[in-house]
Structure 1
Amino acid sequence: MTQMNRRTMLTALLALGGASVLQVPGVRAQAEKLVITTYGGSWEKFWRDTLIPGFASETGIDPQLDIGLGRVYTTNLRAAGKYNPPYSCLMTNEIYSTVLRDEGYFEKLDLSMLPNYADLYPVATKASDGYAAVGLISPIGIGYRTDLIQTPPTSWKDLWENPEVAGQLGLYNIQNSAGKMFLMLTSMIYGSGIDDLETGFAKLAELGQVYQTDFNMSTALATGEVAIAPFDFGEIARLRAQGLPVDCIIPEEGLMMWDQTFNICVNGAAREDAYKYLNFVLGPVGQDLLMREFFVSPVNRNVEVPVDLQRDVPVHGEAMAQFIDWDWKLMNANAEEIARRWNEIFGA
């Protein structure tokens, strides 16, 4: 009897069983390749032009790239079901990962397949209880126009206490995770902890009129529509490179951050390749590439920030302990009421 090759076997199985046959783990793993995710725009360009070629050069693996956002990934995973995921390794913000993890879409990491995990800073591992690793951290401090704010900030409290800030403050709105972090931060500073939301909302109301955005604060800072705001250090670096008089500081109470959490999907295709990809992202080569492109803080202890990048990537080494821990379950469980209260204060 002529031995059937893999493609012939899969074709025959599909003819007999249709698409449902692909839900059999062994068959599905053979039929599909490694599927990874990122966002559009400059993210997609970097993944296609730099990160994927670097990964392929090291491993010989050529993954399929899916472009989307956290909301889309969540919808797609739920539609497909936890045992038939459209992704192998999913990158998204921890606020989405928290929900999907609790719903059973991700496997607990097999650390024997992730040697680079042992070299990560605690901030990259402690939130997920072994189910994920943060592969990118964009620290958020206080960014400001040095020509419009004469007294440089040192504390988040300066957003309330410095009279120069009044009428010139920008905030990310409550749809952005930075808005939710700012609410928890306010609750922590002025109340009994990040869950003291009543105190947090009361203090937010004292800020008066603020400029809000869902995503792009840079344009408002560049035009002078705002003079000070919670800001990504990497974005400040890009504005500074354009010649704008801007700076960003690490507040004494600690840092917010935009995180990108990497998760291995339960029953995802090409599982071993997914671990190789994640290990590459967490390793020195992947982290160095990401740092140089996005000015993110490297999460691997073995990556040194070169002297010429230290102004643009100031959060590294010992400073990696300055990130505040957030309660995304609290935010997700009360999302509708939190949005209502926020919009009563600042408007939608």
Structure 2
Amino acid sequence: MFSLNRRRLLAGMGALGAGSALGFPGARAQGNTLIVPTLGGVWEQFWRSTIIPAFEEETGASVTLDVGNGRVFGANLRAAGLERPPYSVVMTNEVFASSLRKEGYFETLDLSRVPNYADLYPMARVAGGFSATGALSPIGIGYRTDLVRTPPTAWRDLWDNPEFQGRIGLYNFANSAGKMELLLASVLYGADQYDVDAGFDALSRLGPVIQVDFNLSTALSTGEIVVAPFDFGEIARLREQGLPVDCIIPEEGTMMFDQNISILANGPEKDLAYTYLDFLISPRIQELMMREFYTSPTNSRVVVPEELRAAVPVSGEAMAGILTWDWDFVNENQGELADRWARTIR
């Protein structure tokens, strides 16, 4: 989902250094250690090279990274139990966070300890104050400009444009985007997101599709597919590599990859966890992540500069057009929906 290059990394580190001179809020915690779960790959590299050194300098604390994914972090929490979680703070997709929240692992945020929360866009204030969106990648419709005569303008074009048939890519149901594709189809062709009968029927009418767990870029690069749901940052990186591609904001709204930050109710370093949460949603860190990963800043005080608007087109008022979903419904019916997907989507 994210990539890095040396030029952006050096520029980002310079910007972060300038911000550090001004100081982030939060008491210093010399000698304390915060365990931070993080994704691997370039995400881990960025945290180790830039985010964590700045946080340690500001707080006097030490940080230990635990590299994994939402499924792993959830399994670790459940293995440890509610009373003795291994983490104080977790950033993960809402589809995983919603289950852990219902099981009692997270607490409602004490907003007096998160001053930057007030500047978040409404859609980044998650679950009535239980969480804050720390990283957001909107998903539009990506396509090959050299292989498509009529560019898409809406999600319904996946069904209505005959030149797309047999050349469509989808995320499979294991990916949160696959689940969103089902809910989106249910909204488009049924009563609402819960009308999954209509959603599955609609998806079956797409005909044969290329399904992947996480990487649609290869199929788009080879021309095996010409259109698919894509986050704008990934399309921007493919464009930088010379591939003739574009990504549009659909008329019905965008989907999104999210990473939401939650505080463990019984975490061992509660004060430090709150400082870390506020640090990640601060304007300086949100801007730095935008420049590195082409994410849409969730802090409304960050303005996307002109030179980045093609790569980060969803910001400001457009944030209100991001579609949200009932992940409790998905999780409660996970097994049935996954089985039905396997039987329905060719």
TM-score by length of 2: 0.90
Shift of 1:31: 9.4
Q: Deviations over 1:207-252 (max 9, x none)?
A: 0000000011111111111110000100001000000000000000
Which residue does 1:160 correspond to in 2?
Answer: 159
Q: Is the 8 A contact 1:173 1:212 kept in 2?
A: yes
Partner of 1:16: none
Aligned to 1:170: 169
Hey, what's the Cα distance between the residues in 1 that align with 2:140 and 2:333? 26
User: What is the RMSD computed on CA atoms of the aligned residues?
Assistant: 1.4
Cα distance in 2 for partners of 1:258, 1:119 equals 20
Provide the rounded CA distance (Å) in 2 between the counterparts of 1:165 and 1:32: 55
Match of 1:34, SS? strand
State the 1:153 CA deviation.
0.6
TM-score by length of 1: 0.89
Name 2:196's counterpart in structure 1.
Answer: 197
- 1:14-29 → structure 2 map (5 Å cutoff): none
Name 2:118's counterpart in structure 1: 118
Which residue of 2 is the match for residue 288 of structure 1? 287
Residue 140 of structure 2: aligned partner: 141
Match status 1:249 vs 2:248: yes
Q: Report the number of matched residues.
A: 318
**Partners of 1:35 and 1:269 within 8 A in 2:** no
Structure 1 residue 319: deviation in Å? 0.5
Equivalent residue runs for 1:1-348 within 5 Å: 33-125=33-125, 127-347=126-346
2:150 partner SS? coil
Structure 1 residues 29-38 or 158-167, which shifts more?
Answer: 29-38
| 1:237-287 deviation line (CA, Å, top 9, x unaligned) | 100000000000000001100100101112212211111111010001110
Q: Deviation per CA, 1:29-73: give whole Å up to 9, x if none.
A: 999621111100000000001111222333333311111111111
**Deviation beyond 6 Å, 4+ runs, structure 1:** 29-32
SS at match of 2:211: strand
Structure 1 residues 99 and 199, CA gap change in structure 2 (3 angstroms) = same
Structure 2 Cα separation of the partners of residues 196 and 239 of structure 1: 35
> Residue 298 of structure 1 aligns to a residue in which SS?
coil
Give, in angstroms, the shift of residue 108 of structure 1: 1.0
Question: Structure 1 residue 130: deviation in Å?
Answer: 1.0
Letter in 2 for 1:92: T
Unaligned 5+ runs, structure 1? 1-28
Tell me how far apart the structure 2 counterparts of residues 171 and 124 of structure 1 sit (CA, whole Å): 26
Kindly name which structure, 1 or 2, has the bigger radius of gyration based on alpha carbons.
1
Which 5+ residue runs of structure 2 have no aligned equivalent? 1-28
